[in-house]
Amino acid sequence: MKRAFALMVVVCSALWASGVGAQTRFHCRDSNGNSFVLSRPCPSDTRTTAAVAEAVPSYQSSYSRSSPATVRVQPEAPSHHQYMSARCRSLDDNIRSAYSRRIAADVVAGMRREYERDCSEQESDAYSQISLERRSRDKERREEEKSAQLAEQVSREQEARFAQQCAESRRILHAKRARTDLTEGERNDLRRFEENFIARCKR
């Protein structure tokens, strides 16, 4: 292993001196003996079997130095990746970015076979988990909307009953005021009724 990394350093130094950049490919092997190639260091649960530096032309002309650098934005990881192992996530990332990174077709085919063999069940379970969470959120949203609609309906019914009660109190008040034969006690009752009506309905 140390010899492989030492060789990589020597190759990278030579490429750098000659005006050519280097891109490292890490050859990894898991505990089951499965091998795969990554553009970044192997996951912690795998073993690095080789680290190969590939030549990439480095354009250092005056034109390229004066041109603005193109920044490659790392695409956001798919939501189902959170429920998959590091190895399966790495395989999927490498397969999806294989074309832009110009990975050889036979290497991509091997990664696809390995992903189908070792990660398809994980992927299916991950999608099921995402679907379950989505249904749970939808159900929670519907329940919240239903509760809000019910609360609004109760409020409207309460307002309608209140308006009806005040209308009836107003009718009684007008009828008592129209009477001219009220006794002293009835006039006191009318005054109290009027005060209660104003306090309750004149708001």
| HEC string for 121-187 | HHHHHHHHHHHHHHHHHHHHHHHHHHHHHHHHHHHHHHHHHHHHHHHHHHHHHHHHHHCCCCCHHHH
Backbone angles phi, psi at 85, to 5 degrees: -70, 160
Q: How many CB atoms lie within 10 A of CB 70?
A: 5
Q: What is the pLDDT of residue 97?
A: 87
User: Which residue type is seen at 112?
Assistant: R
pLDDT less than 70: residues of the chain: 1-22, 53-75, 203
Please report, for the chain, the start and end positions of each structural domain, with discontinuous segments joined by +.
2-61+78-118, 127-201
Residue 19: half-sphere exposure toward Cβ, Cα within 13 Å: 3
Q: Roughly how many angstroms between the first and final C-alpha of the chain, as a whole number? A: 86
Q: Tell me if 201 sits within 8 A of 170, measured CB to CB.
A: yes
Q: What is the pLDDT of residue 180?
A: 84
Q: What is the pLDDT of residue 138?
A: 94
Residue 57 exposed, middle or buried by CB count within 10 Å (0-12, 13-18, 19+): exposed
What's the distance, CA 124 to chain centroid? 19
